[in-house]
C-alpha cells in the first residue's frame, strides 16, 4: 500500500528502510529494496521504486548485509550521497560509489537545512564473512522535528543522553527470524528504551518484512506481533509516548 502524507513525515518501506521527509529534504535509511537477500524472502509488497530514488541523502547505520545492501544502493545510482560509519568508505568506493561520507558517533553533517548527527548503537559493526568493520550507528535528523533513527541496537544507558533532544524515535523491535541474537531490541526492551529517550512519538521498525520461506510458513507470528507487543509494553512503561504502527508502504505526518 502506498500513501501520501504531509511533510514532515515518516514513510516505512519495510525492515529498516524509511524515508524521513522534512524541510524540503528526503532522507533514506538502510535501503533494502530487493525481494530476496540470501535465504530471506520479502514477506510484503516491495516499495515503489520512486519512493527511494527521490531521496536526497542516504544513511547507513551499519555494515550487516540487510542494512548495507550493495545491489539496493546501485539501484539508486552510484552518485547518490551516502553517509556511512567510519570504516565503510573504502569498501563502497571500491564498488564504484563516488559520494561517500564517513562519520563517527558524535559527528555531525548537514543535508540542506537538516542537521544529521551520528549517535552510538549497541550492535556488531562487522560485515560477514570477511569484513570490513565499522561502528554501528544511529542518527538524529533535526529540522522542523527531531527524528532519531536507532539503526539496529540493543538497550544501552547512553540513550538517556538523547532525552529532551528528540521528538520521534524510530526503534527496532525485532528482526527476520523467530529468535533474536545479541545486540537487538525486542518489544519490551524497545519500550524500556522509551523511558530513556522520552520522545513524543515512537514508530516500531525492523519487523515483519523478511523471513526464511520455511520459517515463515511454520510460525508467521513473529512477522506480525512484535509492533503490537511493543505498543502494549509502551503503554505501561512509557504512557506519555504515543505509538504509531506503520505497515510497509504507510506513512505518518509528524508535524506536531
Report phi then psi at 14, rounded to 5: 115, 150
Sign of the dihedral through C-alpha 196, 138, 176, 223: positive
Sign of the dihedral through C-alpha 38, 41, 47, 48: positive
67 close to 61: Cβ distance less than 8 angstroms: yes
Which residues of the chain carry a pLDDT beneath 50?
A: 1-2
Q: How many CA atoms lie within 13 A of 233 on its CB side?
A: 20
Q: C-alpha 244: how far from its chain's center?
A: 15
Nearest to 154 by CA among 167, 138, 177, 176: 138
SS3 of residue 228 by DSSP? helix
Phi-psi region of 254 (alpha: psi -120 to 50; beta: other; left: phi over 0): alpha
- pLDDT for residue 216: 63
Domains of the chain (ranges, CATH numbers): 9-253 (3.60.15.10)
Nearest to 163 by CA among 196, 208, 125: 196
- pLDDT for residue 1: 42
153 close to 122: Cβ distance less than 8 angstroms: yes
Q: How far is the C-alpha of 138 from the C-alpha of 30, rounded, in Å?
A: 11
CA angle, 217 as apex, 213 and 223 as ends, to 5°?
Answer: 85
190 close to 172: Cβ distance less than 8 angstroms: yes
Please name the helix (run of DSSP H) or strand (run of DSSP E) that holds residue 16, with its range, or none: none
Amino acid at each position: 500500500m502506498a500513501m501520501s502524507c504531509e511533510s514532515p513525515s515518516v514513510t516505512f518501506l519495510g525492515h529498516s528502510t524509511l524515508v524521513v521527509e522534512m524541510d524540503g529534504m528526503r532522507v533514506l535509511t538502510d535501503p533494502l529494496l530487493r525481494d530476496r537477500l540470501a535465504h530471506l524472502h520479502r514477506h510484503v509488497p516491495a516499495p515503489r521504486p520512486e519512493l527511494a530514488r527521490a531521496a536526497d541523502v542516504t544513511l547507513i547505520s551499519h555494515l550487516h548485509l540487510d542494512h548495507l545492501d550493495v545491489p539496493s544502493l546501485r539501484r539508486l545510482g552510484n552518485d547518490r550521497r551516502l553517509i556511512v560509519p567510519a570504516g565503510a568508505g573504502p569498501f563502497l568506493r571500491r564498488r564504484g560509489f563516488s559520494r561517500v561520507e564517513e562519520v563517527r558517533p558524535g559527528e555531525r553533517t548537514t543535508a540542506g537545512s537538516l542537521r544529521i548527527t551520528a549517535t552510538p548503537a549497541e550492535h556488531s559493526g562487522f560485515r560477514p564473512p570477511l569484513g570490513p568493520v565499522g561502528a554501528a550507528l544511529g542518527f538524529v535528523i533535526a529540522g522542523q522535528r527531531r527524528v532519531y533513527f536507532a539503526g539496529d541496537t540493543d538497550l544501552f544507558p547512553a540513550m538517556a543522553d538523547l532525552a529532551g533532544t528528540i521528538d520521534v524515535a524510530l526503534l527496532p523491535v525485532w528482526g527476520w527470524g523467530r529468535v533474536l541474537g545479541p545486540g537487538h531490541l525486542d518489544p519490551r526492551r524497545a519500550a524500556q528504551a522509551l523511558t530513556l529517550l522520552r520522545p513524543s512519538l515512537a514508530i516500531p521498525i525492523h519487523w515483519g518484512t523478511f523471513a526464511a520461506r520455511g520459517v515463515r510458513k511454520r510460525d508467521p507470528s513473529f512477522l506480525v506481533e512484535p509492533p503490537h507487543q511493543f505498543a502494549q509494553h509502551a503503554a505501561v512503561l512509557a504512557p506519555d509516548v504515543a505509538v504509531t504502527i506503520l505497515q510497509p508502504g504507510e506513512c505518518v505526518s509528524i508535524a506536531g
